[in-house]
């Protein structure tokens, strides 16, 4: 249920970026981040008006990590209440095609997580629930 029915709707995208071993990339937001400082997250962000969701996700991943990825499928979706909008979030699966990570100032750490660690890592709120469910479904 939405907390504030007056907020506009938005679309965001996130990625389960895997490496050659199948580990998933998690990013920690920097202390200076405007939203959720020091929270663990997946690469991704908002889709700009008129932008295709796959183009937005590839752009966000490149901006945040410097990685080039290949999108491989849909992992699922979730709803999210952001400070300024109510978001529908598409979570896609991606495979890393270049592995030299270069974090943007928005993030200060990264870690590659196995499926077991992904399900129990310190992701907050809806993302944590989504990932625990995803790991159960894909076992």
Lowest mean pLDDT among 7-16, 17-26, 32-41, 69-78: 32-41
Spell out the domain ranges in the chain: 9-138
Q: What is the mean pLDDT of the chain?
A: 91
64 — pLDDT class (breaks 50, 70, 90): very high
Cross-strand pairs, 17: 94
CA distance 25 to 103: 12
How far is Cα of residue 80 from the mean position of the Cα atoms in its chain? 12
pLDDT digits (tens, 9 = 90+) for 77-115: 999 888 888 999 999 999 998 768 999 999 999 999 998
Domain 9-138 belongs in CATH node 3.90.79.10: yes
- pLDDT over threshold 60, residue 1: no
For residue 45, the model assigns a pLDDT of 94
H helices of 66-124, where? Answer: 115-120
- pLDDT over threshold 80, residue 26: yes
Strand extents, DSSP E, 7-122: 9-18, 24-29, 40-41, 44-46, 69-81, 86-96, 107-113
Q: What SS3 class is residue 5?
A: coil
How deeply is 61 buried, as exposed, middle or buried, from its count of CB atoms within 10 A (0-12, 13-18, 19+)? buried
């Amino acid at each position: 249920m939405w907390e504030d029915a007056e907020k506009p709707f938005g679309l965001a995208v996130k990625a389960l970026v895997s490496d050659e071993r199948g580990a998933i990339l998690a990013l920690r937001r920097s202390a200076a981040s405007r939203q959720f400082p020091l929270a663990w997250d997946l690469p991704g962000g908002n889709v700009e008006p008129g932008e295709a969701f796959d183009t937005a996700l590839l752009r966000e991943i490149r901006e945040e990590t410097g990685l080039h990825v290949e999108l491989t499928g849909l992992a699922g979706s979730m709803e999210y209440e952001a400070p300024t909008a109510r978001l529908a979030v598409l979570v896609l699966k991606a495979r890393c095609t270049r592995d030299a990570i270069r974090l943007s100032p928005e993030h200060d750490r990264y870690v590659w997580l196995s499926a077991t660690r992904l399900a129990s890592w310190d992701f907050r709120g809806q993302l944590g629930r989504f990932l625990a469910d995803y790991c159960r479904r894909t076992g």
